[in-house]
Chain A
Amino acid sequence: MAVEETAQPVTAPAGTVEQPTAPAATAQAVTMRGITKSFGGVPVLKEVDFDLRAGEIHALLGGNGAGKSTLMKILVGVYSHDGGSYEVAGRAVDFHSVEEARAAGVGMVFQEFSLIPTLTVAQNVFLTREARGRGGFIDDREMERRTRELFASMHVEVDPRRPLDELPTAFWQLTEIAKALSQNASVLIMDEPTAALAKAETVELFALMRRLRDQGIAIVYISHRIEEVFEICDRVTVLRDGRHVGTHDVASITPRQLIDEIVGRKLEHELEYQERPGRGEVLLEARGLTTQTRLRGIDLKLHEGEVIGLAGLMGSGRTELARALFGIDPLVSGEILLRGTPIQVGTPRAAIARGIALIPEDRRAQGLILDHPVRENLLLPLLDRLSRAGFIDDAEGDRQADAFVRRLSIQVRSTSQPTGTLSGGNQQKVVIAKWLGIEPRVLIMDEPTAGVDIGTKGEIVNMIRAFADAGNAVIIISSELPELLAVSDRVLILRDGTVEREMDRHEIHREEDLHHAIQGVAVQ
């Protein structure tokens, strides 16, 4: 569901919400000097400087493990710092808790939202700061009134009495922002805010960010999406390996220069489409797939050696199509054929037996057992192959796990390290590696590069190409169009659970062509 369906602009009643008066554009909101931080003896920040001005949107970029999140968590009091100092609005501070930072006007919108899904919007916004009425009882009416005002000031209409889990994900983010604003935040830190949003929702969020900036709020914007930096940000700071690499006006730098700074080496032309050898026979075919989840008569033909991209807005049915092909959601009607023979994929287990693998959308919730060692995650789909009469051959398992780690250059101390302690990019490599082991013929990837640093993106893209070149087939879903365009030989554009349009890669000359197609605008 897109935000625009529910979020109509409303005219904010003047003066109902206190806004800080806009300070001069040059006022320093945050100054961090020489910040150092180590975890268990490993330095993650090395004398980092960071300047944030009031009324600017400042991008903070860097690969996974560059130190962006750590730096910001120091600023909001989640972590303490080992060395250096920082000031907020010209006053030296040293926050020891999120509450302290919030009270000083520094709010963070967490990557994993710190919200309680079963509570209402208003209850979440005022969590632990509930308005009190007569006799000390919670005054729900008052909280609802103030929540409505806050959202009105953000030009978003919402029913504050709705529980969060009944609202689309995009609203969660807005609730986080409202929560920060309710404490008169003058500094707002947003960590990958668009990761879960479709394009239309992102547009809404950016409009909101611009309004907040114009009210004098300083915004730190952490993202992996370079194009967004150029769309929304005023300045950009790049960190690499815990060091400050550079701070620039966005107007004075090109995307290519920026990527080079982040990666620290010239990124090869990995993200440019490469013509690949012709496709072979039809491998997987879907006819009239219809599910209760969203699909309405999807047809699809996937050839050997082919990569198909699925594009569309959130809710267009991309993920649902992947789930149906992998046997998670049952079919109401339609059929799936493998090499022309109808097959039944009622469960993931049956799909796997047919050589179909899925790299799910949410690697933390669906792809990995975070508490378990890397090794156990890698071997889970392989258990049957690694065992005789139900007993696992541990030596062979170790060999295989080590081989995967080398093959995808997964950075781990050892394969017995808990998977949850790896960086996002390395976690994603584990998910990919565990599937390559069963040698699938069809690989379905749902947002394989979400939250992954740019170096790893290149590696994943190359991996997809090599897999397809070997005569296998790939279906890739991605909201990140550069990646989608880098590997797809054809792109299917989904809308409302149907294939609205099919585009050959050669019909797409620029990213904008695909954007237009997804948004349903005619291509000139």
Chain B
Amino acid sequence: MTDQPAASERFNLGRARSVDWRQYIIYIGFLVVFAIFAATLNDKGFLTSTNLLNVFRQTAIISIKAVAMTFVIGAGQIDLSVGAVAGLSSVTTALALGTWGLPLPVAVAVGLFTGFAVGIVNGFLLAFIGIPSFLVTLATLGIVNGLAQWLSNTAPIPILNDTFVYIFGSGDVGPIPSLLIWTAVVFAVGHVTLRKTTYGRRVLATGGNSVAASFSGVDVRLIRFAVMTVMGTIAGLAGILFAGRLHSGRFEFGAGAELSVIAAVILGGTSLFGGRATVIGTLLGSLMIGLINNGLTLASLPTSQQFIVRGLIIILAVALAKKR
């Protein structure tokens, strides 16, 4: 049986093709939000370099995960377990450094391996058993979170290693926070991989039409396995940075972060249905979420109202970017 094309496809064939400003909405939106906050919150120090670096610092952990998520969504998949994985890896890293007394590089490897292992399980169940990624990661989200609570007895595990916290999240190199360097590196690698490598091209082909990609010689199962595995590993890195920034491992680090991560990717212009993705857009998407959080906090809105305003801004941005 042939797949039926989406019903909407039939009717937009003849639509006039003008310059589609909607694909640039994230750039416009970013500038607009920035300008509004600059104008209204200037007296509260919005434009100071300290505050702007703060935005980066607060966003870094979301942004890094959003890069890997760009590949996952670009390949037509989703990963809901990223927040929980970061929590678990912060716990295993803290345990490795403290309780188990392992040397720093090994402890970092333990944290990364934690994410890698979850990624492999996610990828295997998706690509080789054929369970939709939404269901796989919904299940692992719970399992991973449970593991983290169990390992840590639901208590924070302090990290007293100064070198660790300096490298991962708390230190500065000159005026630049180390978190910013980590973010820049991950974004640069992500952008080049997506745009310039055969892997990136195959990820988009898989998300665009997995049958056509497979018939063109793309090993779509391997691609699906790979994007989930990389996602898990990067979520592991995010957990290590969390641990470094807050000097401890906690199971609730990253709880609910999957929603911000997915929102950043979609705001950036990556198609939720796969096939179209942009790492630059994702960077702006996550910075926009960071800006909004920062601005609303500076405006001293109570948390409850911040949630509401943030949701409304996301809906507005996505609605404007939507192709008619």
- A contact residues vs B (CB 8 Å cutoff): 39-41, 44, 70, 73, 78-79, 110, 112-115, 117, 165, 169, 196, 326, 328, 347-349, 352-353, 358, 360-362, 364-372, 376, 379-381, 383-384, 386-387, 390-392, 394, 420-421, 434
Chain B residues near A358 (CB, 8 Å)? 215
Interchain CA distance A420-B12 in the complex, whole Å: 11
CB B4 to nearest CB in A, in angstroms, measures 6
- B212 to A348, Cβ gap below 8 A? no
- Tell me if A348 and B202 are in contact (CB < 8 A): no
Known: A112-B5, A365-B212, A366-B212. 4 other contacts (CB 8 A): A44-B14, A347-B219, A365-B211, A372-B205
Are the CB atoms of A79 and B14 closer together than 8 Å? yes
Provide the residues of chain B in CB contact with A39, threshold 8 Å.
Answer: 14-16
A380 and B3 CA atoms in complex are apart in Å by 21
Do A112 and B4 touch (CB < 8 A)? yes
A169, A368, A386: the one contacting B209 at CB < 8 Å is: A368
A367 to chain B, nearest CB (A): 6
CB proximity of B76 to chain A, nearest CB, Å? 11
The size of the chain B interface, using a CB distance under 8 A, is 37
Annotate B133-165 by CB proximity to A: 1 below 8 A, 0 otherwise: 000000000000000000000000000000000
Rounded to whole angstroms, the CA-CA distance of A380 and B1 in the bound complex is 25
The reply to whether B14 and A110 form a contact with Cβ atoms under 8 Å apart is: no
Point out the residues of chain A lying under 8 angstroms from B202, CB to CB: 383
Contact B215 A70 (CB under 8 A): no
Q: Are A370 and B215 in contact (CB under 8 A)?
A: no
Nearest B residue to A368, CB-CB? B212
Cβ–Cβ < 8 Å partners of B205 in chain A? 369, 372, 376, 380
Which residues does B use to contact A, with CB under 8 Å?
Answer: 1-5, 7, 9-11, 13-18, 196-199, 201-202, 204-205, 208-209, 211-219, 271, 275-276
Most buried by A among B14, B17, B196: B14
Q: Do the beta carbons of A360 and B199 come within 8 Å of each other?
A: no
Expressed in whole angstroms, the Cα–Cα distance for A186 and B148 within the complex equals: 68
Total contacts A to B, CB within 8 angstroms?
112
Minimum CB–CB distance for A35 against chain B, Å: 14
Residues in B with CB closer than 8 Å to A362 are 2-3
| A39 vs B271: C-alpha distance when bound (angstroms) | 26
Contact between chains at B201 and A392 (CB < 8 Å): yes
Docked-complex contact B275 and A380, CB < 8 angstroms = no
Q: Which 8 A-B pairs have the closest CB atoms?
A: A40-B16, A369-B208, A383-B198, A352-B217, A369-B209, A365-B3, A380-B216, A362-B2
Check A349 against B217 for contact (C-beta < 8 Å): yes
Chain A residue numbers with a CB within 8 Å of B15 are 39
Q: Which of B11, B16, B201 has the most CB of A within 10 A?
A: B201
CB distance from A37 to the nearest CB of B (A): 8
B208 touches A372 (CB 8 A): yes
B-side contacts of A384, CB under 8 Å = 198
A365 proximity list for chain B (CB < 8 A): 2-3, 5, 209, 211-212
Contacts of B3 in A (CB 8 A): 362, 365
A113 touching B4 by the CB < 8 A rule?
Answer: yes
Using A40-B16, A364-B5, A383-B198 as known contacts, say yes or no to A348 and B214 having CB atoms under 8 A apart: yes
Q: Which residues of A contact B219 (CB under 8 A)?
A: 347, 349
Whether B197 lies near A390 (C-beta < 8 A) is: yes
Give Cα A79–Cα B15 distance, bound, in whole angstroms. Answer: 10
Judging by beta carbons under 8 Å apart, are A40 and B17 in contact? yes
Q: How far is the CB of B305 from chain A (nearest CB, A)?
A: 39
Say whether, besides A368-B209, A380-B201, A384-B198, A114 and B215 are in contact (CB < 8 Å).
Answer: no
- What are 29 pairs between A and B in contact, CB < 8 Å? A40-B16, A40-B18, A41-B16, A113-B4, A114-B10, A169-B2, A348-B216, A349-B218, A361-B2, A362-B3, A364-B5, A365-B2, A365-B3, A365-B209, A369-B208, A371-B271, A372-B204, A372-B208, A376-B201, A380-B205, A380-B213, A383-B202, A384-B198, A387-B197, A387-B198, A390-B198, A420-B9, A421-B13, A434-B216
- The CA of A376 and the CA of B201, in the complex, are separated in Å by 8
Question: CA–CA, A41 to B15, complex, Å?
Answer: 11
Given the interface contacts A352-B217, A421-B13, does A117 sit within 8 Å of B4 by beta carbon? yes
Measured CB to CB, the nearest residue on chain A to B274 is A371
What is the bound-complex CA distance between A353 and B219, given in angstroms? 13
Q: Which residue of B lies closest to A350 (CB)?
A: B217
Closest beta carbon of chain A to B244's beta carbon, Å: 31
Known A39-B15, A365-B211; judge A381-B204 contact (CB<8 A): no
Q: Are A392 and B198 in contact (CB under 8 A)?
A: yes
Partner of A371, one of B213, B217, B276: B276
Does the CB pair A392–B275 fall under 8 Å? no
Give Cα A22–Cα B17 distance, bound, in whole angstroms: 45
Given the known interface contacts A365-B2, A390-B197, A390-B198, the answer about A112 and B10 at a Cβ–Cβ threshold of 8 Å is yes
Contacts of B10 in A (CB 8 A): 78, 110, 112, 114
A392 close to B196 (CB less than 8 A): yes
Please report the C-alpha to C-alpha distance between residue A169 and residue B4 in the assembled complex, in whole angstroms: 11
- Contact indicator B1/A165 (Cβ below 8 Å): yes
Measured in the bound complex, the distance between the Cα atoms of B13 and A380 in whole Å is 24
